């Protein structure tokens, strides 16, 4: 869950999250493995008790600087006394799914996922349905009706750049000689959600559409031929050392809260305002099923939603929280303004884009 792929800029924050998952006991109440809500299995107090008895939670591909996850993990652990075991923080959404399959039946298996929608739609057979207490506050078109997945936070695809070296006023600027060896994606677009959407944004700006990512692949072919494309995964470190001074990524991952370079700026082209959300899911083989469900309850509480917002991401319950006045007004006001008409890939469009990239990306960029 990170760029979809290699999850955007990953800063090495001081917070230490255990990377090796210790063996653990079974749930104090195995019924949580199939519980579809807290209310259906004794309520929140019973869920908290069972989760504390498990004592651990396995997460995967959550860089600590991604949408404020460092603070979220620390606060969840402190509130409930549950150790959070982090695996492969720089992994992609596909890496998450691969781990679910390869680690199934072991204590190392991921309990929960935070993945891009293209990967989520393609792997619902791996998920266990669950409805958080705030289920009604998640818009109907942003969740699976049966609870297999539910979107969590989102933003807009953007171009981050070092303004001391470059000026970006349009996507086409990046094809000019000034951007030699400068432009990067957040991972491989055949695996990474953020990278796929980066290619789609260039398609929209190049005459393509949500149903046609072809012009975006052609754009990157031109970019590569011009020597402007840097075929490495952009991170905070590569930005800081100058390897990737221009980066396609979600606006909340191109923000000053993630990228510490003082001259860093973020541009969202008005002719290609592409929005997107990630999604949560609980795995069928979760070794800590109660902790997994408590984690989701925490994320979709006002506390969890506001922590994502403080990280620059737009929480899925934002409209409801504005209406009921539980939103952090300061964080909401700090979100970058966006002009133009936002669009978002639906399931069929995302699947078609992923299919096109699988068949054409390598030939276009030579990797």
Structural domain total, the chain: 2
Task: With cut-offs at 50, 70 and 90, classify the pLDDT of residue 215.
Answer: very high
- The answer to whether residues 6 and 186 touch, using CB atoms and an 8 Å cutoff, is yes
**So what's the pLDDT on residue 33?**
97
Q: Are residues 255 and 173 in the same domain?
A: yes
- What is the percent of the chain where pLDDT is above 70? 92
Q: Are residues 140 and 198 in the same domain?
A: no
Domain contains 94: yes
Closest CA to 92 of 183, 13, 194, 243: 194
Q: Are residues 244 and 351 in the same domain?
A: yes
**So what's the pLDDT on residue 28?**
63
Domain contains 14: no
Q: Are residues 195 and 270 in the same domain?
A: yes
Q: Are residues 141 and 192 in the same domain?
A: no
Structural domain range at position 35: 30-154+276-333
Q: Residue 246's domain is classified under what CATH number?
A: 3.40.190.10
Domain contains 22: no
How confident is the model over 260-313, as pLDDT tens digits? 899 999 999 999 999 999 999 999 999 999 999 999 999 999 999 999 999 999
Q: Are residues 312 and 171 in the same domain?
A: no
Average pLDDT over residues 244-249: 97
How confident is the model over 71-112, as pLDDT tens digits? 999 999 999 999 999 999 989 899 999 999 999 999 999 999
- CA distance linking residue 272 with residue 200, whole number of Å: 9
- Residue 97 main-chain phi, psi, to 5 deg: -65, -40
Where are the strands (E) in the chain, listed by range? 56-60, 83-87, 112-116, 127-128, 150-162, 183-185, 229-233, 246-250, 264-267, 274-283, 314-315, 343-344
How confident is the model over 141-152, as pLDDT tens digits? 999 999 999 999
Q: Are residues 212 and 342 in the same domain?
A: yes
């Amino acid at each position: 869950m990170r760029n979809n792929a290699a999850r955007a800029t990953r800063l090495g924050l001081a917070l230490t999250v255990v990377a090796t998952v210790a063996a653990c006991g079974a749930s104090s109440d195995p019924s949580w493995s199939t519980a579809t809500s807290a209310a259906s299995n004794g309520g929140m107090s019973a869920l908290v008790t069972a989760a504390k008895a498990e004592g651990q939670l396995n997460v995967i591909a959550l860089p600590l600087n991604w949408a404020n996850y460092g603070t979220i993990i620390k606060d969840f652990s402190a509130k409930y006394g549950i150790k959070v075991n982090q695996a492969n923080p720089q992994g992609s959404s596909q890496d998450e799914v691969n781990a679910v399959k390869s680690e199934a039946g072991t204590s190392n298996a991921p309990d929960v996922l935070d993945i891009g929608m293209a990967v989520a739609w393609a792997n619902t057979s791996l998920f266990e349905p669950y409805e958080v207490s705030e289920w009604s506050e998640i818009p109907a078109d942003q969740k699976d009706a049966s609870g297999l997945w539910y979107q969590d936070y989102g933003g807009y695809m953007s171009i981050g750049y070092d303004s001391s070296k470059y000026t970006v006023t349009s996507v086409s600027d990046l094809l000019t000689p000034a951007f030699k060896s400068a432009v990067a994606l957040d991972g491989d677009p055949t695996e990474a959600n953020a990278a796929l959407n980066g290619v789609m944004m260039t398609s929209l700006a190049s005459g393509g559409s949500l149903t046609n990512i072809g012009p975006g692949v052609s754009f990157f072919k031109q970019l590569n031929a011009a020597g402007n494309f840097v075929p490495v995964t952009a991170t905070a470190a590569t930005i800081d050392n100058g390897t990737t001074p221009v980066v396609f990524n979600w606006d909340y991952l191109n923000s000053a809260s993630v990228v510490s370079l003082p001259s860093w700026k973020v541009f969202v082209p008005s002719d290609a305002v592409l929005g997107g959300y990630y999604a949560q899911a609980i795995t069928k083989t979760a070794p800590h099923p109660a902790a997994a469900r408590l984690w989701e309850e925490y994320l979709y509480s006002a506390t969890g939603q506001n922590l994502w917002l403080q990280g620059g991401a737009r929480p899925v319950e934002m409209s409801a929280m504005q209406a009921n006045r539980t939103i952090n007004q300061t964080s909401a006001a700090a979100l970058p303004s966006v002009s133009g008409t936002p669009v978002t890939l639906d399931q069929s469009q995302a699947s078609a884009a992923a299919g096109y990239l699988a068949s054409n990306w390598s030939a276009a960029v030579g990797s």
